[in-house]
Structure 1
Amino acid sequence: MVNWEEQRQLVKIATLYHYEDWTQEQIAKKFGISRPIVSKLLHRAKDQGMVEVYIKNENVHTVNLERKLEEHFHLREAVVVPSPAPNLERVTNAVGRAGAHYLSKKIKSINSLGISWGNTLAELVKEFPYVIKDDIQVVPLEGGMGRKRADIHANQLAYELAKKMNGTCSYLYAPAIVETKELKDRLMQMSDINDVIEEGKQVDTALISLGTPYQHSTLQSVGYLQEQDVEQLKEAGVVGEIGFRFYDRNGTPIHHSLEKEYIGVALEDIKKIDEVIGIVAGSHKVESVLAALKEGYVNVLVIDDQTASKLISEIE
């Protein structure tokens, strides 16, 4: 029985070969596999009844969305996940599972991995398989935030992911937000904190989630944002956030007073990381995702099909 991830790869390869006129050599390079394997997969797609004169599989819808996202935003890869139901919790789990599968395919080539915080990334870590990658270093991309939901903080996710790979992780023993510049300066003078932030800037791959402070906001649920704060962010033109860092509809960072003093890897530095994988669940995040894609914060996107469809409708 071919599982969903295998079906998706078969349909995507068949689409590139039969509809986009890619050569087997080009497909092999894109997926990091050999040309003979591409040939075997094309034959397998036919054997599975996916390819006749046309591509026949339910995944063709999501693959078409992937191709449009990749082409318009110049992404290395888009993974569009069928929404299991109009239920955010189930969608979050499906996207996290797909993100875990994508990461597991790439993990052999990753030496250092940065990770942010949030519910979707927590699902990814939970779904990630146990593999041996004992030379990997996992680094939190920002400090912690309060005492609520410590299970979705970057430090905890870095620890859990490293444990699954028998790798090592760093810990950022600092809050994500501090009240004054003087306190931030004192904390940044501590090598245990400054060194981890520098490690975060140097990772070759990063896992981030894209959020909004307005609907289904984790920042609100953990008590970081109050109603008056949300109104201030709207007035400032904020449409999204990545790990407590706010940005406007063009993806430009907004250094709002609510941020106080931030401790972690800045948005400007995230853009310099070689591969940044954005994990997104929920169509309420469309404006946030669109802005992040415009600014180039991510070059790999794992997203549910309803949100992907709304993104496509915004750009067509």
Structure 2
Amino acid sequence: MSERISDFELSRQIHTVLVLHFVEELKQSEIAQRLNLSTSKVNRLIAQGRKLGMVKIDVTSPFQRLAKLEGQLVGATTLNGAMVTPTVSGNPDTTLQQVGRAAANMLLETVRDGDVIAITGGKAISAVVENLSPDRNFDITVVPLTGGVQGKFYTDVNHLASQMAERLGGTPMLIHAPLFAESRNQRDMLKEMASTKEVFDLARRANVALVGVGSVEPRGSSYYDLNPVPESDRKMLVGMGVAAEFMAHLIGENGRLAEYELNSRLVALNPSELQTCRTVIGIAAGKQKVRPIQSVLNGNFLDSLVLDEETVNAVLETMERSKHVA
């Protein structure tokens, strides 16, 4: 009987110490003083409490629903990772900035000294660059995956490569060639120029690639900022099943390169040339990116994807509907 009383008193003492430490957040020295115990005794009681299963840690977060969506997306695709941010209703620019901030953090967690980072142009990549705030400089090289386009700052991949390298403390290498050549022969000639070939060879060996996922819908597509596609062709592209722009290539819903003349004149790496890259991170935001995301996922071009909550919900819903139709 006395032994049971002793066990009860010990359990109660352990409970008291655990409450003071984990609930009231007192230091072990403060608990020792309050209960007239030695600090080592308090430490042993806490250890005993853990061993007896009296301490259970339950981490709650307002972002649990986002983590669940990330798990669902990874489970339904070939992705190795995903990151979902809240959607700011009625404010696509702010939503894109949040996605860019999340992608910037993912990049900082992924990159290592000595890495080569290859990037495309685009609004999403611009949002990533704007939100890069590293704690230290990285010994990295940033290279474009495509030729350059003068004009808006987010379409100029050389500008973004320079900005990213500056923020990370690394070195940029730029492509001094246009994104679109006038013919296939000119494209081949430009890609074989020593300065262009050097950068593209480095891009093929990139450790990390950061790529926007673009829409080709006639409205709201930055693809048409890159080249003068006739209005009739824009509608035709959608009609023939072209769903995405990826690394400036037009991609069909099946994830394959579209049979469209502009693809044959691109001064850019082919998406298949990133297969040896350690991590290919895609960035997208907005419901207009649902079909493009599905297309790129069908092509197995990405290892990770960063997007907003509204967009991932739409992607998952579309996948579920397709499963039932199949």
What band does the TM-score fall into relative to the shorter chain?
Answer: 0.7 to 0.9
Per-residue CA distance 1:169-202 (angstroms, 9 max, x = gap) = 1101111111112212322231001111111111
- Decide which moves more: 103-112 or 269-278: 103-112
Aligned: 1:294 with 2:294: no
Contact 2:180 2:266 in 1 (8 A): yes
Q: CA shift at 1:288, angstroms?
A: 0.9
Q: Secondary structure at the match of 1:132?
A: coil
Aligned to 1:226: 230
Instruction: Find the aligned partners of 2:227 and 2:257 in 1 and give their Cα distance.
Output: 22
Structure 2, gaps ≥5 residues long: 1-55, 321-326
Contact 1:78 1:300 in 2 (8 A): yes
Q: CA shift at 1:86, angstroms?
A: 2.5
Per-residue CA distance 1:47-77 (angstroms, 9 max, x = gap) = xxxx3xxx64321211111001111213221
Aligned: 1:63 with 2:67: yes
Contact 2:213 2:292 in 1 (8 A): yes
Contact 2:282 2:306 in 1 (8 A): yes
- The structure-2 alpha-carbon separation of the partners of 1:93 and 1:134, relative to structure 1 and needing over 3 Å to count, comes to closer
- The structure-2 alpha-carbon separation of the partners of 1:185 and 1:69, relative to structure 1 and needing over 3 Å to count, comes to same
Contact 1:275 1:300 in 2 (8 A): yes
Aligned to 1:79: 83
Aligned to 1:119: 123
Per-residue CA distance 1:127-172 (angstroms, 9 max, x = gap) = 1014434421111000112x32144421111111111122111101
Q: Secondary structure at the match of 1:80?
A: strand
Instruction: Find the aligned partners of 1:148 and 1:207 in 2 and give their Cα distance.
Output: 21
RMSD between aligned residues: 2.0
Identity %: 25
Instruction: Find the aligned partners of 2:120 and 2:201 in 1 and give their Cα distance.
Output: 15
Contact 2:111 2:208 in 1 (8 A): no
- Code of the residue aligned with 1:313 in structure 2: it is E
Aligned: 1:155 with 2:158: yes
Instruction: Find the aligned partners of 2:78 and 2:188 in 1 and give their Cα distance.
Output: 38
- Code of the residue aligned with 1:309 in structure 2: it is N
Per-residue CA distance 1:21-41 (angstroms, 9 max, x = gap) = xxxxxxxxxxxxxxxxxxxxx
Aligned: 1:239 with 2:243: yes
- Code of the residue aligned with 1:118 in structure 2: it is G
Contact 1:73 1:293 in 2 (8 A): yes
Q: CA shift at 1:109, angstroms?
A: 5.9
Structure 1, gaps ≥5 residues long: 1-44
Say how many residue pairs are matched.
Answer: 265
Aligned: 1:264 with 2:268: yes
- Code of the residue aligned with 1:92 in structure 2: it is L
Q: CA shift at 1:295, angstroms?
A: 1.7
Q: CA shift at 1:234, angstroms?
A: 2.1
Aligned: 1:203 with 2:206: yes
- The structure-2 alpha-carbon separation of the partners of 1:69 and 1:295, relative to structure 1 and needing over 3 Å to count, comes to same
Q: CA shift at 1:245, angstroms?
A: 0.2
Contact 1:114 1:141 in 2 (8 A): yes
Q: CA shift at 1:107, angstroms?
A: 2.2
Q: CA shift at 1:221, angstroms?
A: 4.0
Q: CA shift at 1:283, angstroms?
A: 1.1
Contact 1:95 1:303 in 2 (8 A): yes
Q: Which runs of 4+ in 1 moved over 4 A?
A: none
